[in-house]
Amino acid sequence: MTDHAHMNCEALLGSLSEYIDGELSLELCREIEKHLAGCENCRVVLNTTRRTIDLVQSPAESVPVPDDVRERLFKRLNLDDYIKPNS
């Protein structure tokens, strides 16, 4: 990783999450983008961190509560009357 005059890699890492989440000021975003343009390792860290978050949010990763678990839950809560197919 490299050290630039305005922002070094460590400073970029410290702001990485907020940059990804779009929570930084325009000014700070520009500083980050200037650093990214000249630092391949930081670009890789940004790309792969974004992709990591995408993957865990993928619908393929989302599994609904199993029907038998739901049914036992409703019985435990004395909600037997409301056990119907889970839509």
Partner 1 sequence: MVNPTSQEPSLEKLRNGDRAEFARLVDAYSTPIYRLGLRMLGNAQDAEDILQNTFLNALTHLPEFEGRSSLATWLYRIAANEALMSIRRRKPEVNLEDLQADDPDADWMPATFADWSNLPEAELLSEEGKKNLEAAIAGLPESLRLVFIMRDIEGLSIKETAGALGLTETNVKTRLLRARLHLREQLSSYYGEHLIREEKK
At closest approach, how far in Å is the CB of 69 from partner 1? 5
Among 5, 25, 26, 56, binds partner 1 (CB under 8 A): 56
Q: How many residues bind partner 1 (CB under 8 A)?
A: 40
Q: How many CB atoms lie within 10 A of CB 51?
A: 9
DSSP string, 4-26: -SS-BHHHHHHHHHHHHTT-S-H
Among 5, 26, 27, 81, binds partner 1 (CB under 8 A): 81
Q: Which residues bind partner 1 (CB under 8 A)?
A: 1, 13-14, 16-18, 20, 40-41, 43-45, 47-53, 55-58, 60-65, 69-70, 72-74, 76-77, 79, 81-82, 86
